[in-house]
Amino acid sequence: MKHTSRVIVSVAVFALANVVANAQAPAELAKSRKAPAASTGPVKVISQAEFNQMVQSGQQFIPVTPAILAAQDSQTQATNQQNQAVVNEFMRQNPNLAGLAGLFAPPTDPSVVRTFDGNYTMQLTDAQGDVDTVETLGPGSILADLAAAIQAASDPVQQLALYQSLYTQYAALYSQLCPASPGGNNGCASLTPPSKLTNPAALRNASLGSIKSALQGLGSQGLAILKQVPVPPIILSSQFASCSADIGASLKATQVNYGDQTGNSKCSGTPNAAGILENFNWLNKDLLTCVKSQGGRGTCHIFASTSAIEMLIARDTGDKVNLSEEDFEEHEKLLWRPAYSNTGGQAGNDLNDAQSNSYHFAYENQWDYNPVGQIATATTCDNYPYPKAKAGFLEPGCSASAPQAPEWCVGTNADCSKNLGCAALAESVPPSVFTLSCYFTTAKLSGARSPYMSNGATSIWDPTNPDLSVANILLSLAFNNAVILAFSETSDFKAATRTPAEEKKDKAPTGYVVYHAKKDAQGIVGASDGKHAVHIVGYIDNGTLAGNPATKSAPAAAGGGYFIIKNSWGECHGDAGYYYMPVDYLKNRALHVWVVSSVPH
């Protein structure tokens, strides 16, 4: 994306159409000079005196200028080039992995449309037959995840730290499951005692190959130990009936137009009778918070990260909370990695940045999510209670930008009372006639933030060894940690949502991703529909699935089993918001996987 006009300052304010429709000639503008009045749109226009007073009171303003936006754009392009170089060199050194190119190949589906900021929008049909628009992330974001995974997997320091962490957790769990006294768990015969595995201390100053060999030995225990972990008794469906009791839940959870559960109210949220969600328990099922919806914005990485944190809070405290994705996104896009016009990102970066900045998560009821996806349009904050309260509610910020931060414009010699392309107009009229400067401020939340923070995320995906990487996921699930997957999505994934009519036509039950393994065996890589990030919450193997009469209609998963995915497209997609991803689909489409093991509080 290149900025071709000074009008680009409106990227956080208004669409160009408003500029054309409402611009006045300089002479006419000069005749209509009035003092700036209070704005009725997402941008608040104030006088210079008001601005000065706010500065004196300690308010910090972050400028929004064409030069800043151009610099962000240039930085993005430079980063994309660096990541492309990393991926190209990796593929040169690993010609057997040439299929990776398909992960960032342009979509072939004509319904997947490129956005101005390099992402994609596509249409999804939900389980009721209604059509929703979602945004996936573009090639730049795909390359960023893949390059980061490559670099982490080739770094001996990071790989040794990963082995140390996995080994320590394995030893602790083995000790718990396999007591030394007689009459212990008979299933322990299938597990390797920690003493038979490589001690991390022996790997100091070891080669990368030696460390990966040790990881391979430990990873071979992943599925076996996951099967030995006792699953607590859970009432299968009742926990998904309501989210209103969650700490920090929005008072506006059933709102149609805003909030992180937008759209859920039109669905029952009842799991499919032939689905994994209804018929099986797994280790952390009772810890999961309600399925959320990212709406039309490319914020899947924020939603996956937040879901992971919420699960760990429930694990460590017993409390279920609803945290604010909007506040988290504002900090990432406004303060930590400024990107005013692009919602793309990496879950690992989100959580590591939160750790580095000692960020305390806010609650959803302090800043409800805005699901509207338009950036740089005047309609972004329509139906959202900002800056004017609706039905008695008022949100702390909104603007036509990725961070959705409050925006202020300081104007002179013009009437901006209706925000008629005001900021963009300022860029097209000589400064001697009309001057306007725009700024972001961080949203001011009411009430105290949560005590919960981030301890960062650890990369566990090795593009050279998908089998080992899957084993790392299984180990992490056995340890009851949170796992986040970034993958290059294909039509197979979005087709996993099936209406009742489709299920009657002998198709797989809704929620199951049908993976075309034969095509991959022939070297045919499915076209990417963009990057998506999700929370992996469990695993069910084919034998267990086939042994339950209720799931006999489910197709066997390519690769031996299904990963259970908590998605962020709302409860009307998949199986009440959950998807079942075959192991082989994940192995062939994954870009990066992180594990999150603790939450300070």
- Indicate which CATH number applies to the domain containing 257: 3.90.70.10
The domain boundary, picked from 440, 461, 482, lies at: 440
Is the pLDDT reported for residue 176 higher than 90? yes
The pLDDT score that the predictor gives to residue 238 is 56
Question: Given 3-state DSSP classes, what are the helix, strand and coil percentages for the chain, each rounded to the nearest 5?
Answer: 40, 15, 45
- The answer to whether residue 34 scores a pLDDT higher than 90 is no
316 and 400 both lie in a single domain:
no
Per-residue pLDDT at 422: 56
What mean pLDDT is predicted for residues 339-360?
Answer: 96
Whether the pLDDT of residue 7 is over 80: the answer is no
Same-domain pairing of 323 and 458:
yes
pLDDT at 30: 32
Structure confidence at residue 207 as a pLDDT band (50, 70, 90): very high
pLDDT at 14 over 50: no
Tell me the pLDDT tens digit for each residue of 132-170.
Answer: 999 999 999 999 999 999 999 999 999 999 999 999 999
Same domain, 465 and 413: no
pLDDT digits (tens, 9 = 90+) for 219-234: 999 999 999 999 987 6
pLDDT score at 291:
94
User: Cβ–Cβ contacts within 10 Å for residue 442, how many?
Assistant: 18
- Beta strands 43-46 and 407-412: pairing type? parallel
Q: At which of 403, 420, 440 does a domain end?
A: 440
Q: Which of 192, 163, 199 is nearest to 177 (CA)?
A: 192
Is 170 within the bounds of a domain?
no
My answer on whether 54 and 145 are in the same domain is no
Q: Which band of pLDDT confidence, cut at 50, 70 and 90, is reported for residue 435?
A: low
Place of tokens 């240039």: 74
The pairing of beta strand 458-459 with beta strand 482-488: unpaired
411 pLDDT above the threshold of 80: no
Domain boundary among 390, 413, 440: 440
User: What string of DSSP letters covers 10-31?
Assistant: GGGT--HHHHHHH---HHHHHH
Q: Is the pLDDT of residue 201 over 90?
A: yes
- Mark whether 436 and 467 lie in a shared domain: no
Is the model's pLDDT at 283 over the cut of 50? yes
pTM listed for this prediction: 0.91
Cβ neighbour number for residue 220 with a 10 Å cutoff:
15
Mean pLDDT taken over the chain: 86
pLDDT band at 185 (very low <50, low <70, confident <90, very high): low
What's the rounded mean pLDDT across residues 97-118? Answer: 87
pLDDT at position 183, please? 53
**In the prediction, which pLDDT does 110 show?**
87
Residues composing the chain: 601
Domain shared by 568 and 469, yes or no: yes
Angstrom distance (rounded) from CA 532 to CA 514: 17
The answer to whether position 195 is within a domain reads no
One domain, residues 290 and 422 = no
At residue 41, the pLDDT reads 56
Q: Are residues 473 and 528 in the same domain?
A: yes
In-domain check, residue 78: no
Residues 470 and 350 in one domain: yes
Position 503: which residue type? E
Name which of 310, 280, 301 is nearest 352 in CA terms.
Answer: 301
Contact 125, 189 (CB under 8 A): no
Instruction: Taking residues 425-450, report their average pLDDT.
Output: 75
Residue 189: burial class (beta carbons within 10 Å; 0-12, 13-18, 19+) = exposed
Q: At what angle do helices 208-219 and 466-478 cross, to 10 degrees?
A: 50
Cβ-contact 449, 358 below 8 angstroms: no
Query: Which domain range does residue 33 map to?
Result: 6-64+378-440
Give yes or no for residue 493 having a pLDDT over 50.
yes
Confidence bin at 245 (pLDDT 50/70/90)? confident
Selected residue with higher pLDDT from 237 and 426: 237
180 within domain boundaries: no
- Contacts of residue 558, Cβ cutoff 8 Å, sequence gap at least 6: 515, 517, 582, 583, 584, 585
Residue 321 lies in a domain: yes
Do 419 and 547 belong together in one domain? no
Which of 40-54, 328-342, 438-452 comes out lowest in average pLDDT? 40-54
317/347 same-domain check: yes
**pLDDT at residue 182, as a whole number:** 52
Question: What is the structure's pLDDT at 15?
Answer: 28
- What band does 21 get if pLDDT is binned at 50, 70 and 90? very low
Residues 6+ apart with CB under 8 A from 138: 114, 115, 117, 118, 119, 120, 344, 530, 531
257 assigned to some structural domain: yes
CA dist 304 to 63, 346, 531, 539, 542, Å? 30, 10, 13, 17, 26
Contacts of 431 (CB under 8 A, 6+ apart): none
Residue 164 lies inside a defined structural domain of this protein: no
Q: Tell me, yes or no, whether 355 lies in a domain.
A: yes
User: Looking at the structure, do residues 436 and 456 belong to the same domain, yes or no?
Assistant: no
Q: How confident is the model at residue 35 (pLDDT cuts 50, 70, 90)?
A: very low
For residue 416, the model assigns a pLDDT of 53
Looking at the predicted structure, is the pLDDT value of residue 212 above 90? yes
Give the whole-number percent of the chain exceeding pLDDT 70: 84
Q: Return d(Cα 429, Cα 413) in angstroms, integer.
A: 12
Total domain count, the chain? 2
| Lowest-confidence segment of 21-35, 171-185, 391-405, 548-562 by average pLDDT | 21-35
* pLDDT score of 236: 59
Which structure tokens are listed for 206? 């070891």
For 402-415, what is the mean pLDDT? 79
